[in-house]
Structure 1
Amino acid sequence: MRVLLIAGKDDFNEDVSKVTGIGRYVREVYEGLKKQIDVEAYPLFDYSSIFSSINSIIKGTFHDYSSYDIIHLLSPKPFFPLRKGKAKWITTVHDLFFLKYNESKPSPFMQKIYLKSILSSDAIIAVSSLVKEDVEKLGYKKKIFVINPGIGEEFFTSPKKPEKKDVIKIGYIGRLDSERKDLIRGIEVFRKIKEKNVIFELWGNYNPDSEIFKRIKKESEEDPRIRIMGPAPDEKLVEIYDSFDAFFFPTKEEGFGLPIVEAQARGVPVIVFKDARIPEEACNYCIRINEEFPQIDYIKSFKEKYNDALRKYASKFSLGISVKNILNSYGSIMLEL
């Protein structure tokens, strides 16, 4: 079996600390697959300029793919291969946020192009049952595989025994300036906590000029318990999760919710809003709230009671299992040739 993985140039080549969740997915899938099959990486899409963007689409359209068995587009792109021969084209769909949120929306014309590309695929890999439902609502009638992303082995090492401390640390990891992540709502709920020894650490990238970040910064200046930490270095991610007493993820919606699984793999309770649209498979053990934060004693008791259960449940989402399921999807599609 010969497989070609297609993604953006930055997804394959950019410094790992600067890539998105999709960039991490691209690298992890490539590294996992190349240990087992004949796979090549094609860093096709370059959005550094209008010219390079158009050139990427043209190259992708006329490239000869006929020597491959599988063409795997690792996230939706404006991709319409004319010379694919008998190769099967699979697209991984992580979400359809480009239809909903201004921060993710391309022009109406490009929205149609992205949708047409998804619907033209020979098969879809949806990263969750929720994404599968969304793709089906688009009218997609061909094969959809639900394959959850995986997390690395470093998340399954035994956590160090926590030191006794006077401070209770609530943590967040993700973009700070995202409309969808809804961090401002999370901060408003956090500020209702009266205890002075409870802090809220905010880890993630941000645009300092964005209106959302400016408001978050103002909130942190008014309440010193809210601490803006900056980007979370990849090599320190496990250590950061281990420092949390709870992980607060105030997101409106997730395609899968990898940070939820990462936190649970470290035995850290995850708090989300009840009205958040998050796949059940990722959030089975989440603490769901309305507009009031759980009592600190409840969080402590939850962590003690469910530590092992959280870690065991998260083990279902290992990178090895995810890569194995992707290979199985390739085999299933090949049988149809």
Structure 2
Amino acid sequence: MKKIVIDARMINHSGIGKCLQNLIPLLAGTYRIILIGNKNEITEYPWSRHISLIHLDCPILSIQEQLRLPLAIPDSDLFWSPQYNVPLFPIKAVKRLVTIHDVYHLSYYNSLSISKKAYVNIVINASIALSGKVLVDSVFTKAEILKYIKVDERKLVVNYNGVDTSVFRRITDRATLDEVIKKYNLPAKYVLYVGNVKPNKNLKRLMKAVAQIDREYRIVIVGKKEGFITEDSELFELMTSNPELNERVVFTGRVDDADLPVFYSLASVLAFPSIYEGFGLPPLEAMACGCPCVVSAIASIPEICGNAAHYVNPYDVDDIAQGINEVLSNSAYSGMLLRNGIERLGLFDWNRSAGKVREVIDSLF
């Protein structure tokens, strides 16, 4: 049984964390897995009891990471980085595998400081050069990598993420719904956003769009404030300068995983107007919970959502508002989107995704 070491320091991050949480237990029966990360975070997951852990708590994309992570990696057959922040120094693993979810920092290169430009260039190029294979979440991300980096296309393997429909499903139990409403003080009607507040999430335009829809709807923002570039300070300036809008916004922070399907089930619509996504799980989770989606017509989002979402121009506030209004006011149309969504979900299965990871790992030996 091959010994696989996985960098699990991002186990609780919004997108990458979901991938780790779902793939690790599915791979544990095939390989001897060792996780590197914060033990307190990893041991929150029941499956971690059967997996070896090495405690390491250092920031991602940092000098400290480059000094401490290589020393933490034991003798092993393969080291898997779930993001391009790979160790640049030699490690004790025979082979390397990396997953690149997106190359946002290359696409929006000019938004970075000079030091971050240099660092991002080094680590992204190194992650590809040092790894035997590169897993990517979408055809879009594969094309983006080929646009910015000279690499053999055969090295890049598209592997879609999944949705656990046993977890993400429409919740109708009244007691469960009422419990979550009370716990988070949720409004009766709301537009839902799930994710972080990084600039590519486009929350400033979304809030301006929500200001144009019926006042009976508020916007509920689920997710913690995190970002490698910066938190979207303009977002908070917009709220503080507009008391009326501020009253319509509910920030929950990070919510319990068990509660998230309830948020989707209670929402009137999910708004996902990102200007850049390598994949984007929230629309699929929303579809599984019977929540119609209004999403951006750019990046990987059309590839993932297909005919199961209403598309808008994410740079046009009026178009975002009109899209939300269309879904809210047209039950026949939103019902069609939901039916298409159920069919669409068949493409995104964690077991299938884990199978592709096994196939790629085995191809390296």
Q: TM-score, normalised by structure 1?
A: 0.81
Aligned twin of 1:145: 157
1:158-173 to 2 correspondences below 5 Å: 158-160=170-172, 168-173=189-194
Gapped regions of structure 1 (runs ≥ 5): none
Aligned twin of 1:11: 10
Three-state SS of the structure 2 residue aligned to 1:312 is: helix
Deviation digits for residues 20-54 of structure 1, max 9, x if unmatched? 32123223222221133332223467228977334
Three-state SS of the structure 2 residue aligned to 1:40 is: strand
Three-state SS of the structure 1 residue aligned to 2:275 is: coil
Question: CA contact under 8 A between 2:170 and 2:290: conserved in structure 1?
Answer: no
1:21–1:5 distance in 2 versus 1, CA, 3 Å:
farther
Specify which of 6, 19, 22 is matched with residue 25 of structure 1. 19
Question: CA contact under 8 A between 2:193 and 2:220: conserved in structure 1?
Answer: yes
Aligned twin of 1:123: 133
Aligned twin of 2:98: 91
Aligned twin of 1:330: 361
Aligned twin of 2:120: 111
Three-state SS of the structure 2 residue aligned to 1:222 is: helix
The structure where helix makes up a greater share of residues is 2
Corresponding letter in the other structure for 1:96: V
Specify which of 225, 234, 239 is matched with residue 206 of structure 1. 225
Gapped regions of structure 2 (runs ≥ 5): 38-55, 178-186
Q: Aligned partners of 1:128 and 1:24: how far apart in 2?
A: 16
Q: Aligned partners of 2:103 and 2:222: how far apart in 1?
A: 25
Question: CA contact under 8 A between 1:97 and 1:104: conserved in structure 2?
Answer: no
Count how many residue pairs are aligned between Structure 1 and Structure 2.
318
Deviation digits for residues 205-252 of structure 1, max 9, x if unmatched? 227986234225326632333333332322201010101121011211
What is the percent sequence identity of the aligned residues? 18
Deviation digits for residues 167-199 of structure 1, max 9, x if unmatched? 5421111123x2111111111122222x23222
Q: Aligned partners of 1:261 and 1:125: how far apart in 2?
A: 20
Aligned twin of 1:75: 83
Q: CA deviation at 1:95?
A: 0.8
Q: CA deviation at 1:119?
A: 2.6
1:241–1:157 distance in 2 versus 1, CA, 3 Å:
closer
Aligned twin of 2:41: none
Q: Aligned partners of 2:128 and 2:60: how far apart in 1?
A: 27
Corresponding letter in the other structure for 2:348: F
Q: Aligned partners of 1:90 and 1:5: how far apart in 2?
A: 10
Question: CA contact under 8 A between 1:153 and 1:319: conserved in structure 2?
Answer: no
2:32 aligned with 1:38: yes
Three-state SS of the structure 1 residue aligned to 2:353 is: helix
1:39–1:104 distance in 2 versus 1, CA, 3 Å:
farther
1:55–1:248 distance in 2 versus 1, CA, 3 Å:
same
Q: CA deviation at 1:83?
A: 5.5
